[in-house]
Structure 1
Amino acid sequence: MSEHLTRAGTPWEPVYLLSIEGSECLGCGRCFKVCGRNVLTQVPLDEDGNVAEDEEDIERYVVTVSNPGDCIGCGACSRVCAKTCQKHGTEPLLEAA
């Protein structure tokens, strides 16, 4: 894999979003809103923690990683997360489906 560089030419290694711990996630949506790559999805949950089928059953939201292959490793999501419930790493590229 080629070395990544900043615009100034200094080395930079992307740190990709690997997962979000749903039990820790507040569901505030800050990471969802700041991600410009469509990596995340807000999932509505009912009071039992199951995906809510009807709008009136929504108790809270959690954010999940729905498109991990679109992550560029910019770290914007981790900078706005109040709970630090995200796991990041430099794992190799995903295989094409």
Structure 2
Amino acid sequence: MTVITGITRGGVEWTPSFVITIDQERCIGCGRCYKVCPREVFTLIDRDDLDTIEDDDDFDDAPGMVMHLADALDCIGCAACSRVCPKGCLSHQPSAVAA
């Protein structure tokens, strides 16, 4: 698999790592990833609106907000969100070059 790569201004090859998931069980809804993202990839939603986690009773009772991927396809792969996340909730991976 050939992955997307780029060249920095200094001429160094760089492979972007795109956000693929958020561990919403660990997310504290601090909004740091939202604030640092230049592409509006994230949105803050109420935990009550989550329909992805149904079996964890402790999580269902947790109050507050949680981060959600609004548009993962708009991610540019800078991984700034992971660097500011205090709980390490975000997963990233390189993406294959489209044929």
- How many residue pairs end up in the alignment? 84
Give the structure-2-normalised TM-score: 0.76
Q: 2:46 maps to what in 1? A: 44
Residue 91 to residue 3, structure 1, CA distance change in 2 (3 Å): closer
Q: What's the offset of the Cα at 1:22?
A: 0.6
CA distance in 1 between counterparts of 2:71 and 2:27 reads: 18
What per-residue deviation string (whole Å, max 9, x for no partner) do you get for residues 10-62 of structure 1? Answer: 100000010101111010000011101010111122xxxx219xxxxxx3111
Q: Which has the higher contact order (CA 8 A, sep 6+)?
A: 2
Gapped regions of structure 2 (runs ≥ 5) = 51-62
- Moved beyond 2 Å, runs of 4+: 91-94
Between the aligned partners of 1:42 and 1:81, the Cα distance in structure 2 is 14
Rounded to whole Å, the distance in 2 between the matches of 1:70 and 1:12 is: 18
What letter corresponds to residue 83 of structure 1 in structure 2?
K
**How high is the TM-score relative to the length of structure 1?**
0.78
